[in-house]
């Protein structure tokens, strides 16, 4: 049996260890990739700490995967060995459940996520469903493509499904792994772009990322600051902080939307009274399908949007992950193999 190197975590909260593991050949409708890059996403923390149901241990994290097709399973005729592809949060769907039959594949009841339903991309090789593959355009490197499968598609897809039109004010709450892409996408989509973050440390970066305005959430009332700019049509909540998201609601323009994508189990402290008269909505947005990931990468090529990445070899995955846990990670750390 051929083997490859992969990061493994033996049990909840355990250390990231590099191990030699068996390489699984692709089954029907699957492909095997030689992984070349994998982003370290904030959500990886939740996996390591057992925050999702039915995780199988040992766990190999990683759902921002880029690589090259090494082997095709039976029935895969729309991809070829050597194709460059990405696999993000959307790790496959069944095409048979009710949501799939309605065409909303991201809500597949049998949907798969790399690292959750099969070993993820902190590895030299992954075996994945072919319907999870997004083609990488030649203009993007594998390391640039990897974060587009989760952080990229989540922010891009959320923003393009709001009712904001070019010229409208859109605020991005949080200037981190998701937010630094959200700012770039919002600017490229033609929105008057507002960054909101704690302190002034991110102000300069936010401007470089395209923000027209910067609000330091520690220096006063965020909603008042948004209203002083005229009110936001959309706030994209990328920070996994329920209170910080709630603090923006009073800054929405009439019929505005708070779109939540920052993962937190905490309840949003927002009262119906705040929503009713101005007719506000609060919605969640999942990431996007393989096709949405392709759209994200296409838009990134057109607009010049790129994740700000720091590359780290797979052997140093534990170090990259520790930086994330301790909140001192770069905007996006991408493991390279």
Is residue 104 at the binding interface for Zn ion, with CB under 5 A as the rule?
Answer: no
CB of 337 to Zn ion, least distance (A): 19
- Which one, 150 or 297, has the nearer CB to Zn ion? 150
CB of 225 to Zn ion, least distance (A): 29
Instruction: Give the footprint of Zn ion on residues 138-157 (CB under 5 A).
Output: 150
Is residue 172 at the binding interface for Zn ion, with CB under 5 A as the rule?
Answer: no
Instruction: Find the helix packing angle between 179-188 and 151-160, rounded to 10°.
Output: 40
Is residue 258 at the binding interface for Zn ion, with CB under 5 A as the rule?
Answer: no
CB contact set of 61 (below 8 Å; sequence gap of 6+): 7, 9, 16, 40, 44, 47, 48, 115, 120, 121, 122, 321
C-alpha 84/C-alpha 81 separation (Å) is: 9
Tokens describing residue 58: 């040992």
Instruction: Give the footprint of Zn ion on residues 280-299 (CB under 5 A).
Output: none
Is residue 261 at the binding interface for Zn ion, with CB under 5 A as the rule?
Answer: no
What are the DSSP calls for 120-159, one per residue? Answer: -SSBSEEEEEGGG-EEPPTTS-HHHHGGGGTHHHHHHHHH
Are 201 and 271 in contact, with CB atoms under 8 Å apart?
A: no
Q: Which stretch binds Zn ion (CB under 5 A): 13-21, 97-105, 259-267, 310-318?
A: 97-105
Is residue 253 at the binding interface for Zn ion, with CB under 5 A as the rule?
Answer: no
Is residue 108 at the binding interface for Zn ion, with CB under 5 A as the rule?
Answer: yes
How many residues bind to Zn ion according to rule CB under 5 A?
9
Is residue 94 at the binding interface for Zn ion, with CB under 5 A as the rule?
Answer: yes
Tokens describing residue 140: 């993007």
Binding site for Zn ion (CB under 5 A): 41, 43, 93-94, 97, 100, 108, 110, 150
């Amino acid at each position: 049996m051929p083997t490859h190197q992969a990061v493994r975590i033996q049990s909840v909260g355990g250390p990231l260890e590099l191990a030699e593991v068996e390489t699984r050949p692709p089954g029907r409708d699957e492909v095997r990739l030689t992984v070349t890059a994998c982003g370290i996403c904030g959500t990886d923390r939740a996996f390591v700490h057992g925050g999702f149901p039915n995780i199988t241990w040992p766990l190999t994290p990683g759902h921002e995967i880029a690589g090259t097709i090494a082997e095709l399973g039976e029935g895969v005729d729309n991809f070829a060995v050597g194709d460059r592809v990405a696999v993000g949060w959307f790790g496959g769907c069944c095409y048979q459940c009710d949501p799939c039959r309605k065409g909303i594949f991201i809500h597949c009841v049998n949907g798969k996520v790399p690292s959750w339903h099969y070993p993820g991309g902190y590895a030299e090789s992954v075996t994945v469903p072919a319907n999870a593959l997004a083609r990488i355009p030649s203009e993007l490197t594998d390391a640039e493509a990897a974060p587009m499968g989760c952080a990229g598609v989540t922010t891009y897809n959320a923003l393009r499904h709001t009712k904001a039109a070019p010229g409208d004010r859109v605020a991005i709450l949080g200037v981190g792994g998701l937010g630094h892409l959200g700012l770039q996408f919002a600017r490229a989509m033609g929105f008057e772009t507002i960054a909101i973050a704690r302190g002034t440390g991110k102000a300069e970066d936010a401007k470089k990322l395209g923000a027209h305005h910067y609000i330091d959430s520690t220096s006063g009332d965020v909603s008042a600051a948004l209203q002083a700019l005229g009110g936001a049509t959309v706030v994209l909540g990328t920070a996994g902080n329920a209170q910080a998201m709630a603090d923006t609601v009073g800054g929405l323009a009439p019929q505005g939307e708070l779109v939540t994508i920052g993962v937190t189990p905490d309840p949003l402290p927002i009262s119906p009274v705040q929503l009713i008269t101005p007719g506000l909505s609060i919605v969640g947005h999942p990431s996007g399908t393989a096709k949405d990931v392709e759209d994200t990468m296409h838009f990134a090529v057109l607009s010049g949007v790129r994740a700000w990445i720091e590359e780290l070899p797979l052997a140093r995955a534990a170090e990259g992950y520790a930086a994330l846990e301790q909140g001192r990670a770069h905007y996006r750390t991408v493991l390279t193999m």
